[in-house]
Homo-oligomer: A and B are copies of this chain.
Amino acid sequence: VGDNLDRVAAALGSAAGRADAIVVTGGLGPTPDDLTREAVSKWLGLPLRRDPELVRRVADVFGRLGRPMPEANLRQADLPEGAHPIAPEGTAPGFVVERNGVVLAALPGVPWEMKAMLDGTVLPLLARRAGAAAIVSREVLVIGVGESATHERIADIVDAQTNPTLAYLAGSGRVRVRITAKAADEDAARRLIEPVESEVRGRLGDAAVPDHASLSAALGALLIEREATVAVAESLTGGLLGAELTEEAGASDFFAGALVVYTDEAKARVAGVDEAILAGPGAVSKEAAGALAQGAAARYAADLGLSTTGVAGPAEQEGKPPGTIFVGACWRGRVETRGVRGYGDRANMRALAVTAALDLGRRIVS
């Protein structure tokens, strides 16, 4: 909804007509285009009041950041009459209010502030109001098998189930099979999921990543189990492989480091790729992928080296078209490489290469 008072208020009216709860994100900042407070007030037919406790909290945030509080931020302490504030994570407080049995939660648009309030306040509140029922989801991550081919293997399970239900989420070489159950409590919901998940995993074999929602977490767990470390050498992915491996806290237990070697000169000088490979098969080749994986492992004294190289496009490189991708792995001296046919835009090519490298890594280690 655009930054327009009447349109936001109308959208709230429309949402209230077809749902029991409304979550609004954004429009709680200090500038004049932040209209959520006013729009909710209009929808409720009740005025805004400035909350002295919130004034103090917003001022505290600026105090901690060591910055003076601009006058405009005082608007962030305004609440529609009858609303309950949610303490600010950043500078914007959220709030919850009820009208004719419909709960409305207004949260900031900054993702981390929104998530903290959603998980800490809003979801528990809605769960309490929903009563005894619990909804639990588990995801099975599938690599190297497309969405429709995944469905062909488990179609009868999907068709037979009403609780849990199954759904697919596909993108960039990964398919997630989401299994969702509803029951009186979370344990009961999990007991409904378990046999279905186990059957799905059985049908998908090693295309299903064991017991983790992300490939990097699955590889990290394997490495910790083997008291081993990983280092990476990236060309087309430019740092994304390292970033994915270090996304969660605790990565220092298995992640040694990364080299991003974008130019031929860097590949030779920093990652130790043989000049003969660069002059022969080229930087985009399975030979280069293997040498990069070996170079990463050697440079960081890691047990596992992983690598990516390829043409992300839009232009071709070394006469190779966009979508030419090779990944490599070197596990305690043993080297494997894999060619991947990339598709889509530059971001998708890079995501596909990260997925392929992590998948090759978990297969060579396990």
Please list the residues of chain A having a beta carbon within 8 angstroms of any beta carbon in chain B.
3, 14, 18, 29-33, 65-67, 70-73, 89-91, 109-113, 115-116, 146-149, 151-152, 155, 158-159, 166-168, 170-171, 232, 234, 237-249, 251-252, 255-263, 266, 270, 299-300, 312-315, 341, 343-348, 350
- CB-based contact A33/B168 at 8 Å: yes
A66 to B343, CA, bound (A): 13
> Chain B residue with minimal CB distance to A7?
B18
| Across-interface contacts of A244 in B (CB, < 8 A) | 239
| Across-interface contacts of A348 in B (CB, < 8 A) | 111-112
- CB-based contact B168/A249 at 8 Å: no
> Chain B residue with minimal CB distance to A30?
B148
A90 CB contact (under 8 Å) in B29, B31, B344: B344
CB distance from A245 to the nearest CB of B (A): 7
- CB-based contact A90/B343 at 8 Å: yes
CB distance from A342 to the nearest CB of B (A): 11
Which of A155, A238, A244, A345 is the most central at the interface, judged by chain B CB atoms within 10 Å of its CB?
A238
| Across-interface contacts of A343 in B (CB, < 8 A) | 65, 90
A266 to B82, CA, bound (A): 56
- CB-based contact A341/B170 at 8 Å: no
- CB-based contact B112/A270 at 8 Å: no
- CB-based contact A238/B247 at 8 Å: yes
- CB-based contact B252/A158 at 8 Å: no
> Chain B residue with minimal CB distance to A177?
B31
| Across-interface contacts of A18 in B (CB, < 8 A) | 14
- The 29 listed contacts between A and B (C-beta, < 8 Å) are A3-B167, A14-B14, A29-B168, A30-B151, A32-B151, A32-B155, A32-B159, A66-B341, A70-B148, A70-B151, A112-B344, A115-B345, A238-B258, A239-B240, A239-B244, A242-B260, A246-B260, A247-B346, A248-B346, A249-B314, A249-B315, A252-B262, A255-B262, A256-B262, A257-B259, A257-B263, A258-B260, A259-B259, A259-B270
* Given known A29-B170, A111-B171, A249-B315, contact A148–B72 (CB-CB < 8 A): yes
Which of A67, A237, A240, A346 is the most central at the interface, judged by chain B CB atoms within 10 Å of its CB?
A240
